Structure formats: C-alpha cells, structure tokens
Amino acid sequence: MSPLAAAVFAASAASPDIHSFGNAAVVRPTHLALDLELDFEKKTLRGTCELTLAYAGDGSQATVLDLDSRGLQVEAVTADGQPLAFERGPADPILGERLRITLPSPRPEKVKVAYATAPGATALQWLEPRQTTSGKLPFLFTQSQALHARSWVPTMDSPGVRQTFEAVVRVPAGRGFTVVMGAENGAHEVDKGVFRFRMPQPVPPYLIALAAGEIAFQAIGPRTGVYAEPAVLPKAAKEFEDVEKMVEATEAIYGAYDWGRWDTIVLPPSFPFGGMENPRLTFATPTILAGDKSLVALLAHELAHSWSGNLVTNATWSDFWLNEGFTSYIEGRIVEALYGAEFAEMELSLSLRELGTTVEEMLKEDAAGTILHANLEGKDPDDLVGPIAYDKGASFLRMLEARFGRERFDAFLKGYFQSHRFGNMTTGRFLEILKRDLFAGDEAAWGDAKVQEWVFEPGLPSNLVPARSERFARTLAAAEAFAKDGSLDLVKRDWSSPEWQDFVENLPRPMTPAQMQALDDAFAFSRAGNNEVRFDFLMHVARNAWEPGYAALEQFLCSLGRRKFLTPIYAALMEKESTAALARAIYAKARPTYHPIAVGTLDAVVK
C-alpha cells in the first residue's frame, strides 16, 4: 500500500458500526468512481461504481470485501476486467443486504461493481413532470442520510468510512436536464446529457447527493448561489440573499469554510426534510420560502454542518448528537450574528419548549430515548431526528458556554474542528478532549457541570440554561387574553415569525369551533404564508376536529412531503376515531406523492 493510502486508512477511524456490514477493520474504500445513467421511465439508475481500496497491513486478512447494499440489482463484479465471485446476504429491514465479494490474491487495488437501483430505492424520489412547477421534465433527487446511500451506491455505508469520489452522470440528451451533485462541477457536455463531478475532500457516503431535472442557477455571493426550478428561482434568490454573510459570520467564529463553494438547491415540495447538509450543496425544502427571510435559520443550520458533521463527523449513528447538537448550537450563533440576540433568543425559546414537552412525554414511555448518546440496537437512525439529539445536545453546549465564557468556549470549538478536520469522532473521544482542553482535567468542575448526566442519563439536567425572551411575555399575554374572553386586542400585526408561532402555540387546548373561527377570520392562519405558523394552527385544526379547517388541512398534507410537518398532523388526527377516517382518506390520496423515507415513517402512524 502506498504511504498515502496508508494515511487515508489510518485517518478513517475503524469504530465498529452496527449499521454497516462493511469489514472496515481490514479493507476500506477510499475513492469511488461512479458512472451512472438515469432512466426516468424505468425509475432506475444503472451503471458502475469502481471502488479504490486500502488494506490494513499487507491485506492478507481481507479475503472478502463486504459492502452495504439495499435492493441493488448487482450484475457483475470485476477487478482488472476479471469477474469476482459475490453473494448477497439476507435482507434486513433496517440495514439492507450485505454484498460479499471474494477478493483474489494479490489483493486488487480497484474493484468495479456493475448494478442497477431498485424502482423503490429508499434514497431516491422520482417525480413525474406534473409534480414539478413547470411540469416540463421529470425530477430526481437523492437523500442518503442515514442508511440510504446503500440503495444507490454499493460501498461501505458508514459515517466512519470517508471516501473521495468522481462521477459521470448521463441523462436523456437534448431535453433540458441539468444534473447537480454535492461536488465540484467538472466538464459537463450539456447537449449530450453528460455531467461530470469530482469531490476532492473525503466524505462519508451519507453525504453523497444528486439531483436532476429542470434546474436553473443564480449566483448570490462570490462563493454562494442557489439552484431551483426556474419558476422558483427568483423568490429563492431573494429569500437567501444573506447566505454569503452567513458564511462570513461562521468563519469569523470557527475558522475557514473548507469546502470551496456553498450553494443551495431548493427542491420540489416532496423533499422529506427541511434541509440536508450535502457538502458544497445544501438540499432544502421550498417550505422555508416565507417571503420575509423569517425561516432561513434552516440554512444557517445546514451551513453549520460544514464544520459540525461534514468536517468532524459522528463516527457512528449513536454519536448523532455530535452532528446535530453542535449544529443546532452553531445555528443559534449564526442567527444571532445576522438577525440579533433577541431573534435568536425567541427561536431558542421555541426549541426549548418543544424539548421540554418531548422529554416530559418520553420519560413516561421511553426514558432511554432521552439519552444523548443513543442506544440504537435494533433501531433505525432516521428516528433520531428530533429535540433530543438537536436541542438537548445544543443545550449541553450552551451550558458549557455559560460556564467558561464565550471567548474560551469559541476558541475550544474552533480548535476542536481544526484538529479533527476530515476525521470522525465518538462521544467517548469527544468527552476526553473536552475534559483535557476545556476543563484542564479539573475533576471537581467536571462533576459540577454534570457532564456524565448530560450525555449518558435520561431527562434534562438542572443546569440547563433557560431562554429568556421578553417579547414572549407579550405573545403569551395575548394568547391568555384570547382564552379568557376572546379578545384579540393584544395581538400586534407587526409581530415577527417566532412571535406568531409563540402566540399560536400558546392558544388554549381545546378550543371551541367559535374560537377557531374567530382566529382564522382575523388572521387566516390556516392559509398563512409562513409554514411554521400554518403548521402550528393546523395542529389545532386536527386536535379540535375543526371541520371548516379540513380543506386547508388536506391542501397542506397533499402539497408537501416534509416529515416534520406531516407526522405530527397525521398522528393528531389518528388520536380520535372521528378524525382517523379523515387521516386515512387523505393519506391514501397523498401517499404516492411522498418520498419513500416519509412513507416509511407515516405507514406506521396512519394504520
């Protein structure tokens, strides 16, 4: 093995990952060369993935190469043009199937897999032209996190196994398709429908991303811009005009942005998440286009992952809070830098309220689920998305910030990112670094900060730093006045987005049809342009079984695929027999328009 390959091997830590079949302790892919053809009729990707391998020692232990796959139709595996024997393990509902390739001696430097994806590949959503804005072309996008890369790329799909990659992507020529990836653009031959990419920084497979369809681009700053369907582009570019400032603000605290460009693509509304931090190219839901930049904190979040997650990556999904808790903390710092402390504090207040109610409920049924360092035995890491990893994780860091002061804490985090860039991190190793570098080994201080409790015990430690928002005293008073006698005099038309959210979330439970009607007449919440406010109100529609709101509810559920909005609404409807039938009827209609990942979650909710 070359010295470089040995260095790459050593840098990608071999933490055992229960969510990968890869035999990474003895052999690891370090580079992928993809050549893929998109077939929009058959809804498959077909082509080859050539893996460059690094071996432990002389490679003698690596008699086989175990890769992850899910539903892939493997046509052949070769090394130097010679076929290699391979076999598929049984299908596991969470992990997919092991792809075991027998390695010859001497060990090959490269192995090529020829394959096609299954029509139901969990990472892929194939949209019909009518599901796009202009209706001209079909659309495809990927979502690889957490365990879905294996449904379109045969490799070791573990966050601890970093790989550089290059790709050739072929689409039907002459129809106006654009292909983008979370990678550098290479020499595209647009007329021939051939697009080339290269990703020189090593990334874990969950960050490999692709989208294709009728896509246009508009620059925002020197290294920032936005991709979207042409009809959405002007609105998106206006909404995202602060992105360059966001990068500058983050660099000022945590050091240089290491990925070259930072673009965002606004996907069609069926994208199952709010955002996904694909390197160089954030994927985002159009539901954040509120018209007043009020929901762009989501972009700050995805940008923050360029440090926490993409630069220093959770070694396994049990360490997910290292990705999302850190990112939620940094998101708050970016929002504060751009939009002020008062705004950031209101956003924090909303998150902490949700964290509080979630923890309270989970302590009754699934106390272990409130532990930061997650036990994922038998679980799908996709289910980790929620207030524990995100907001309990961020609260832990806020406690540390309060204890050591911003200056020292910022220097600590900056140094941490710098020392571990393009590496992986386990919870255990992070705590060692924290104790050594920030606590200077002071055991008494360590105990006093309750670090052990924060990371390994259920619930919320008593030293959580609460949010203090004076503005929320007014929104609460307005909600209470309405509850008391229906008065809306304290409601101010010029409230900001979090103030409206706070007001709607504090409305009485339950409400009478007359109360619901009065609110919707006064503010048209059920059709609000701000989707967070609209969602909060539609939750009241669902809980109160308020029939005049059903049309708006159905319209909402049928027009977007963001799991964070869909799941609570369907769950609230399923609670009462009277509304469960409505949920089932809407779901039957909308299910074909949802992404496989959202369907996976919702099938269990709407039974």
Choose, by CB under 6 A, the member of 39, 68, 166, 277 that binds ligand BES.
277
- Return the residue of 146, 212, 371, 478 that touches ligand BES, per CB under 6 A: 146
Q: How far is CA 541 from the centre of its chain?
A: 28
Comparison of 21 and 320: residue with beta carbon closer to Zn ion = 320
- Return the residue of 154, 205, 275, 332 that touches ligand BES, per CB under 6 A: 275
Question: In the beta sheet, which residues pair with residue 166?
Answer: 33, 198
Which residue reads 């989208």 in tokens? 211
Query: Among 39, 302, 319, 536, which residue interacts with ligand BES (rule: CB under 6 A)?
Result: 302
Residues annotated catalytic, as ranges: 302, 390
| Cα(538)–Cα(217) distance, integer angstroms | 34
Q: Give the residue carrying structure tokens 């055991």.
A: 443
**Which residue number, 31 or 563, has a Cβ lying nearer to ligand BES?**
563
> Residue 275 binds which one of Zn ion, ligand BES, none, with CB within 5 to 8 A depending on kind?
ligand BES
Give min distance, CB of 459 to ligand BES, in A.
22
* 452 contact partners, CB below 8 Å, separation of at least 6: none
Say which entry of ligand BES, Zn ion, none residue 269 contacts (CB below 5 to 8 A, set by partner kind).
none
Strand order in the sheet with 216-221: 216-221, 224-228, 262-266, 281-284, 275-276
Residue 305 CB, shortest distance to Zn ion, in Å, is 6
Instruction: Give the distance, in angstroms, between the CA of residue 7 and the centroid of all CA atoms in the same chain.
Output: 30
Segment near ligand BES (CB under 6 A); pick from 215-223, 274-282, 406-414, 548-556: 274-282
Using only the alpha carbons of the chain, give its radius of gyration: 24
> Where in 356-415 is the site for ligand BES (CB under 6 A)?
382, 385, 390
Q: How far is the CB of 277 from Zn ion (least distance, A)?
A: 6
Q: How many CB atoms lie within 10 A of CB 273?
A: 22
Where are the alpha helices (H) located in 457-595, listed in sequence order? 471-485, 497-505, 513-523, 531-543, 550-559, 563-574, 577-590
- Is there a contact between 264 and 245 (Cβ–Cβ < 8 Å)? no
- Whether residue 455 contacts residue 431, with contact meaning beta carbons closer than 8 Å, is answered with yes
Shortest separation between residue 524's beta carbon and ligand BES, angstroms = 25
Least gap, CB of 274 to ligand BES (angstroms): 3
Q: How far is the CB of 490 from Zn ion (least distance, A)?
A: 35
| 316-335 footprint of Zn ion as x/- string (CB under 5 A) | --------x--x--------
CA distances from 184 to 156, 166, 481 (A): 22, 9, 55
453 within 8 A of 399, measured Cβ to Cβ: no
Residues in 228-247 that interact with ligand BES by CB under 6 A: none
Query: Does residue 266 belong to the site contacting ligand BES (CB under 6 A)?
Result: no
Residues with Cβ within 8 Å of 522's Cβ and at least 6 positions away in sequence, in order, are 488, 491
Interface positions, 260-289, toward Zn ion (CB under 5 A): none
Instruction: Provide the binding-site residues for Zn ion, judged by CB under 5 A.
Output: 324, 327
Instruction: Provide the binding-site residues for ligand BES, judged by CB under 6 A.
Output: 145-146, 273-277, 298, 301-302, 305, 324, 382, 385, 390, 564
